[in-house]
Amino acid sequence: MKFGVVIFPGSNCDHDAYYALAGNLGKNTAYLWHQSEDLQNCDAIILPGGFSYGDYLRTGAIARFSPVMSAVAKFAGSGGLVMGICNGFQILVEAGLLPGALLRNRNLRFVCRTVHLRTETTKTPFTAELRPGELLAMPVAHGEGSYYCDPATLAGLRREDRIVFRYASASGEINDEANPNGSLENIAGIVSEGRNVLGLMPHPERAADPLMGSTDGLRIFASMASHLARGARSESVRLAGLVRQTL
């Protein structure tokens, strides 16, 4: 089992993600350079947070053209696990691997604080080890994290059970006060149609060590590892079929 962490110019959470996977989870992990299409036989890819290419034009708009993203798109298309964290989520949206857009925070200010996430579905490789409704505490740190999509896309996300996390209060209530950026319906993370690509704005790698005050983020990485241990890519197809059967 091998994880890969992509490094873009301006990435600043690549080492954090690497340490969470290699140091805290104890998994074989490699750095992947943005100019290379070689994914080094990794079984899961992490697009970390930061400010790729200085966030010029739009967040993630330039990074999507990096050679590595061509390889990531093919990898995802074949059922490979891909997770985009914060700027990584923005890149996945710009690359068309996830729907919607990440807009400026509603207060037009950078927000950096711990939030609570409510687990909305466990029918993904990223949450299969969690409980429905389970709350996770981890930080956000972004200026453009307000998730938005058109009504038809939102209806599809609901219908297909693809809203993975929502911002919630410490008691699990979904309300405006718990929403740090104005995201539509408090959405903090979504998954692709194949359920193998996850984008989320909060930082699980910053909640993966007891010294950080929370290890809740490690639950997401551990869920990915368990999924890979069970047989990897074929499981994504099974999960997607399971969801369709219950709709």
- The catalytic residue among 94, 203, 227, 235 is 203
For the segment 49-54, the average pLDDT, to the nearest whole number, is 93
CA dist., res. 25 & res. 209, Å (int): 10
Choosing from 86, 94, 142, 144, which is the catalytic residue?
86
Which uninterrupted H or E stretch holds 167?
Answer: strand 163-168
How far from the centroid of its chain's Cα atoms is residue 101's Cα? 14
pLDDT band at 20 (very low <50, low <70, confident <90, very high): very high
This prediction has a pTM of 0.92
Q: What is the pLDDT of residues 101-120, one digit of tens each?
A: 999 999 999 999 999 999 99
- Does 205 participate in catalysis according to the annotation? yes
Q: Is 227 assigned a catalytic role?
A: no
pLDDT in tens, 182-235: 999 999 999 999 999 999 999 999 999 999 889 999 999 999 999 999 875 555
Instruction: Give which of 190, 197, 222, 198 is closest to 208, Cα–Cα.
Output: 222
**Is the confidence at residue 10, as pLDDT, over 70?**
yes
CA distance 103 to 193: 22
> How far apart are the C-alpha atoms of 190 and 120, rounded to whole Å?
10
Q: Is the pLDDT of residue 45 over 80?
A: yes
For residue 203, indicate whether it is catalytic. yes
* pLDDT reported for residue 140: 98
pLDDT band, residue 5 (cuts 50/70/90):
very high
Q: Please state which CATH number belongs to domain 2-246.
A: 3.40.50.880
